[in-house]
Structure 1
């Protein structure tokens, strides 16, 4: 089967970023990349803050945060009254876990596709409360219907207190049917926390329509916001129970103010987030999404062909708009977290390419992203040089 044709590049898009031109940055999903216009927006806000800190941190700041919150919530199809700005998805997950009030007989059920730091957060909360953490195996080849049935069979009514699922997994770049999973959990009285770290900007979403109890997503990845910008969306029945990780002067105001206000935090990144969405819309939101997904698919096939991986062995991402794809590495390569990290560093140092290398279920996987600043020759150059690097051991 031939490699799919690459998408046409978006003219001038590369010039919107300050990325090192000598490096192929194929790992947008890790830390994102902030457009020049957004960087300048944040710098103007920092200049304002430093010109008169007392005035900047005065009463008008809460109004400006509320305006930003409403803007981001509208983009995500979420209720602004149930949306709080947080530093990242892991922070939002920690807030939700802390607010659940887990008890000794409770169980938190997640999957083996979950993000490592989130699993650590679950483990810590379970140690603190005496609750139990359990993980389900979801095969990469499973259909959406099969995934729903695996989760349905894994729920323990009366014991499972929370189901934690990714909307788009980080390690395996798989889009999960979260709305259907939420419906199944609701049938059994189980709350659901959706980790949607990669969704805002990459995929169209109507958060309220998903119906989750908690939904957390980063804007600093595919939404072009400054790093440290994410949102926690909470269903109405939980809002008066939300407890921030750190108490502030806004504690009495309740959610979302009690979560957002963190004294002398640098809020300029949050306030700049709408500029990231403006950049997306200026480029053409659907145009960007279509381009990125097609480019990631092209890169996946080019690298897979170079490694001798047949198309039938490439996992289906679960949806046409996914702008991250994975390629299985040869058996025995990067099968542990330590080995995966070492290989990623070697690729960066020797091939001048930034990629993600994951160890999932004892197998090494290379994850590639597609973004408007990437070009087809970056994937082709990686494909031409990667086999020799892997052969060196």
Structure 2
């Protein structure tokens, strides 16, 4: 499958979880949409764009178990999370509940919005290793109080690459009438998803990761009972360009002139994975994650954060590095020196992440990877650590 991508053949790319490149067919689809735009901008942007976006959202909705009318395209999960933060009514003393596995940008979004009104961000510590869903749910809901206004959690966590039992969490939250916002960029395509049965309030995701859509594509799902309350971050015309039936989506579908070609190419990304076979894709990439789990936990003599099962991780896995790997005392904005060394000296792209005061290696693979690349990384790390 490597020939389906345009990756530099000199690079070993084991960081699909950060920036997942698109296969050639998706790149070609985006270029074709761009060509149509440039050939007649009025025809494309005014007379065709709304219909084409509706069709793409319908196909995406079928892929994730949602009506297309409950989705809006956004650049990435972070943009979607900002829209949710701009919507939830908060007052002094209110609480937003997160877990200790959340993405740094998500933490900053809610800390900022909470500080602006005198609310609080509460962080629930989840038990390790992940091996019992009920234990995780209980630990999370012990932090719920009468002041909790929203539960924000990842479907698949970014730093630790763990799958949260979102179905059981959403069920428990519904029983307590607690709204839930799920941050799902790593889950799309990697995990089966049916928003109709999950029944969360908001679900935000990036499509440039496991789905392999173009960079700068994602979506926000908004449950019907929130759609009349949703508040855009950017205010524009808020209406149709060509007689489209009025909808809550109007505030988000035209926010000034932009190129929709990347969003329209999401359809080709869905076709690409469905043609290959979603179950086959998940099985093969999970097998590589299992091999990484076994190889590096043994090599580093460190304990993984979950049981060795697909319930807890999918196409990527995070392994603690040995204590001999230095942990930065403060964030400098630069990657870890070991990550830089691997990239520059050995042409291996892999993510190193600081979490819970330790350094970790997060290995994420797609259909263009194979076990020989894990073996090469292993040998190099034996020499460098």
Please tell me whether the aligned partners of residues 301 and 322 of structure 2 are also in contact (alpha carbons under 8 angstroms): no
- TM-aligned CA deviation for residue 184 of structure 1: 2.0
Which residue is equivalent to 2:243?
none
Higher helix share: 1
- TM-aligned CA deviation for residue 313 of structure 1: 4.3
Please tell me whether the aligned partners of residues 340 and 364 of structure 1 are also in contact (alpha carbons under 8 angstroms): no
- TM-aligned CA deviation for residue 216 of structure 1: 1.2
- Tell me the distance in 1 between the aligned counterparts of 2:31 and 2:58: 22
Which residue is equivalent to 2:314?
322
Aligned partner (choices 150, 154, 163) of residue 143 of structure 2:
154
- The answer as to 2:114 corresponding to 1:119 is no
Which residue is equivalent to 1:361?
356
Which residue is equivalent to 1:256?
249
Q: Deviations over 1:231-250 (max 9, x none)?
A: 11111110000111111222
Q: Deviations over 1:205-254 (max 9, x none)?
A: 10121111111122111112101111111111100001111112225844
SS at match of 2:38: helix
Residue pairs, 1:181-200, within 5 angstroms: 181-200=169-188
Shift in alpha-carbon separation, 1:384–1:222, aligned structure 2, 3 A = same
TM-score using structure 2 length: 0.93
- Tell me the distance in 2 between the aligned counterparts of 1:140 and 1:351: 33
- TM-aligned CA deviation for residue 317 of structure 1: 6.7
Please tell me whether the aligned partners of residues 334 and 343 of structure 1 are also in contact (alpha carbons under 8 angstroms): no
User: Which range is displaced more, 44-53 or 183-192?
Assistant: 183-192
Q: Structure 2: which 5+ residue stretches go unaligned?
A: 241-245
Q: Structure 1: which 5+ residue stretches go unaligned?
A: 1-12
- The answer as to 2:15 corresponding to 1:27 is yes
Shift in alpha-carbon separation, 1:18–1:145, aligned structure 2, 3 A = same
- Tell me the distance in 2 between the aligned counterparts of 1:147 and 1:201: 24
Please tell me whether the aligned partners of residues 200 and 222 of structure 1 are also in contact (alpha carbons under 8 angstroms): yes
- Tell me the distance in 2 between the aligned counterparts of 1:33 and 1:198: 14
- RMSD of equivalent CA atoms: 1.8
- The answer as to 2:57 corresponding to 1:106 is no
- The answer as to 2:333 corresponding to 1:333 is no
SS at match of 2:228: helix
- Tell me the distance in 2 between the aligned counterparts of 1:128 and 1:377: 50
- TM-aligned CA deviation for residue 36 of structure 1: 0.3
- Tell me the distance in 2 between the aligned counterparts of 1:56 and 1:223: 26
- Tell me the distance in 2 between the aligned counterparts of 1:206 and 1:384: 41
- The answer as to 2:41 corresponding to 1:48 is no
- TM-aligned CA deviation for residue 127 of structure 1: 2.2
TM-score using structure 1 length: 0.91
- Tell me the distance in 2 between the aligned counterparts of 1:288 and 1:334: 35
Q: Deviations over 1:246-277 (max 9, x none)?
A: 11222584422312322212211000101001
Moved beyond 6 Å, runs of 4+: none
SS at match of 2:225: helix
